[in-house]
Structure 1
Amino acid sequence: MRVTSLLCALPLLLAACTPENAMTAAMSPQPTDGPSPAQGRAALNPAPRQAYELLLTLADVPGPFAQVEGVAQYDVVNEDQCGHVNPLTGAAERITHQQPVALEQVGPGQYRGRVYLDLMLDEDYYGRGVCQWQFSGAGTLLKATGAAGETRFTAFIDARAIAEGQTVTRLYPATDYPRVAEIDDYGQPGKADAGSYVATLRDQLFSATLQANKVDN
């Protein structure tokens, strides 16, 4: 279990704290996320039923990716009623949980995994009331070999896009592969529009596309 306010304080995050930003932070090199006694423990549903198949498709990649990881994100939506109150601010802290998603390569540049919308169990973690979890989306992390210092190419598809059957495509400059010389562990979230890049980079882009399809029980 993680507290979103702590994720937003990470120096890797330069924008407002959204599910996608929290996902980027969660997939950054960080210490093991073990819950403290004060935080309680996120409980997983032993028999989730709302399954979606997560599909990742890579195109025009500049080289191989030995590290391909997935993660599903869940957020508590009623933290004011159930969350831990920070004694310094008097405000309840938001709670978020990231669950690893195993991605299996099923073809050239194609990977598949499974996420569950109902993976988390609503429970009373702080003695203030039952925390209600909501699926926020799923993300992926790509690294050339998995070595320290390499660029972390990330993508995220939120719950609304999944529910509406949409796909999300991110474009990345090949010049950032396998690493950015000046910045270790550079986080590259990509852009949705090739026109957002300078002209000299537009013919050197590769893509990652995410979609999720409901699995019939």
Structure 2
Amino acid sequence: MGVAHRAHRGRPLLALLTLLPLAACSPYADAERDVDAGGRGLAKLNPAPKQAYELVLTLKNAPGPFAIVEGVAQYDASNYADCGRILPATSTAGRITSQEPVTLRKIGENEYRGTFYFDRMQDEDYYGRGVCHWSLTGVGTMLRATTGKADTRFLTYFRKERMNAESPLTLYYPKAAYPRAELAANYPASGKEDPSAYKEELRDALFSTTTTVQKLAP
């Protein structure tokens, strides 16, 4: 993974997005240390993004309030193999990815909205191998009942392909996992699109989130 990777300020929203160890003995050591500390490393933001979209998160039958409701937009360099830093261990280019926060505002009792940009990242030659071209991969959210880190993380991930199809994403979660799951502390509940995928005894005690994305007028 290239050093342009930016973690979400030390607060992982998506369980599948984790940092890999980065070599400390390279010309990019300072940038790598910045990434490890939750910074952006070499990655840069587009100073004048124009392609604005709105993420809308709607809750239904929530088991209680959520003290934390966060959003994130994930970006990847689509041509990282041609522009990324060559990793000595594998002699291949490392993946370049960045997660940028999306501030979600509470609009109603069960609705949150936040703006993000398709062109949030700056295309640039980061490693002297050619210009890296960023593209949006998807947007995600995380809900937590309290600020306690042992509480369940209720997660969503809305892929770009679904945005292009203008298809809403509804996920179902067991109320029994709120505020804290018995399985484990800090449990990452990713939800299921089909409520019948849960055990029969849980199907009558589910709540849902629906995520939609809409383009904003320039």
Coarse TM-score class (shorter-chain normalised): 0.7 to 0.9
Letter in 1 for 2:203: R
1:33 counterpart = 2:34: no
Letter in 2 for 1:66: A
1:42 counterpart = 2:52: no
Structure 2: segments with no counterpart, 5+ residues: 20-35
Letter in 2 for 1:207: S
Measured against aligned partners, the alpha-carbon deviations of 1:35-80 in whole angstroms (never above 9, x if no partner) come to 5xxxx51111111111111100001111110100000110011111
Which portions of structure 1, spanning 4 or more consecutive aligned residues, are displaced by more than 6 angstroms? none
In the alignment, the residues of structure 2 paired with residue 166 and residue 115 of structure 1 have an alpha-carbon distance, to the nearest angstrom, of: 18
Map 1:19-98 to 2 at 5 A: 21-22=16-17, 25=18, 32-35=37-40, 40-98=41-99
| C-alpha deviation, 1:84, in angstroms | 1.3
- 2:32 matched residue in structure 1: none
CA RMSD, 1 decimal? 2.1
| C-alpha deviation, 1:162, in angstroms | 1.1
- 2:25 matched residue in structure 1: none
- Asked if 2 retains the 8 angstrom alpha-carbon contact of 1:82 and 1:128, the reply is yes
In the alignment, the residues of structure 2 paired with residue 211 and residue 3 of structure 1 have an alpha-carbon distance, to the nearest angstrom, of: 25
- 2:170 matched residue in structure 1: 169
**CA distance change for structure 1 residues 60 and 178 in 2, over 3 Å: closer, same or farther?**
same
- Asked if 2 retains the 8 angstrom alpha-carbon contact of 1:102 and 1:114, the reply is yes
Secondary structure at the counterpart of residue 145 of structure 1: coil
Letter in 2 for 1:2: H
Q: How many equivalent residue pairs? A: 195
Measured against aligned partners, the alpha-carbon deviations of 1:75-101 in whole angstroms (never above 9, x if no partner) come to 011111111111111111111100000
Map 1:145-160 to 2 at 5 A: 145-160=146-161
Letter in 1 for 2:5: R
In the alignment, the residues of structure 2 paired with residue 32 and residue 109 of structure 1 have an alpha-carbon distance, to the nearest angstrom, of: 34
Letter in 1 for 2:82: Q
Map 1:107-186 to 2 at 5 A: 107-186=108-187
TM, length-normalised to structure 1: 0.84
- 1:209 matched residue in structure 2: 210
Letter in 2 for 1:150: D
- 1:196 matched residue in structure 2: 197
TM, length-normalised to structure 2: 0.84
| C-alpha deviation, 1:107, in angstroms | 0.3
**CA distance change for structure 1 residues 142 and 3 in 2, over 3 Å: closer, same or farther?**
closer
Calculate percent identity across the aligned residue pairs. Answer: 46
| C-alpha deviation, 1:149, in angstroms | 0.7
Structure 1: segments with no counterpart, 5+ residues: 5-9, 14-20
- Asked if 2 retains the 8 angstrom alpha-carbon contact of 1:3 and 1:93, the reply is no
Measured against aligned partners, the alpha-carbon deviations of 1:13-53 in whole angstroms (never above 9, x if no partner) come to 6xxxxxxx32xx48xxxx64235xxxx51111111111111
